[in-house]
Amino acid sequence: MKYLKWIWVMSMSFLFFNSGFGQCLGKSKGSRALSRVERFVTAPYQQEKREETGAIDESKISINIVEDESVCSQIEGILTNDIKINNNLDNPDLAKYFYETTNYYYAFWAPKPEFDGIPKTGPKLLFVVIKKDLSEHWKYYL
């Protein structure tokens, strides 16, 4: 019985930290979110922003979801302290995504994965580009 209790506690802890309750919320790979990062990295119309941030050599194949909880926590810190996002408003259709390429992190909002494949109109949303050493960040609405 004692061991069963221990196993139950461990199981619950494992489920908690792997179900999105940590800082790395965007582990599910929304295709629309991914394509927004891809366009930032490669599309001609984003060239100006790439030059402004210095992210001119980031490759499409290097795009990945940020999974390191400590990194996600640091990105959250930038959003909260520097960008002043306090999570006071919660649009149920949107999710926050953290992606990375070789030298940059990308924190932004986009529709939840369940809306993939369904076009919709909507406002320009925050898209933050952060240097991996966290020394600089740039804020855009796309």
Residues at the site binding another protein, with contacts judged by CB under 8 A: 32, 35-36, 39, 43-45, 85-92, 94, 96, 108-110, 118-126, 141-142
Residue 29: helix, strand or coil by DSSP?
A: coil
Angle at CA 76, nearest 5°, toward 62 and 20?
75
Minimum gap (Å) between residue 40 Cβ and another protein:
10
Nearer to another protein, 15 or 43 (CB): 43
Nearer to another protein, 4 or 118 (CB): 118
Alpha helices in 43-108 (DSSP H): 47-53, 69-77
Nearer to another protein, 27 or 32 (CB): 32
Minimum gap (Å) between residue 49 Cβ and another protein:
13
- Give the amino acid at 48: E
Minimum gap (Å) between residue 61 Cβ and another protein:
22
Rounded CA-CA distance 38/42 in Å is 6
Nearer to another protein, 36 or 50 (CB): 36
Minimum gap (Å) between residue 42 Cβ and another protein:
12
Using CB atoms within 10 A of its CB, is residue 79 exposed (0-12), middle (13-18) or buried (19+)?
Answer: buried
Rounded CA-CA distance 17/33 in Å is 23
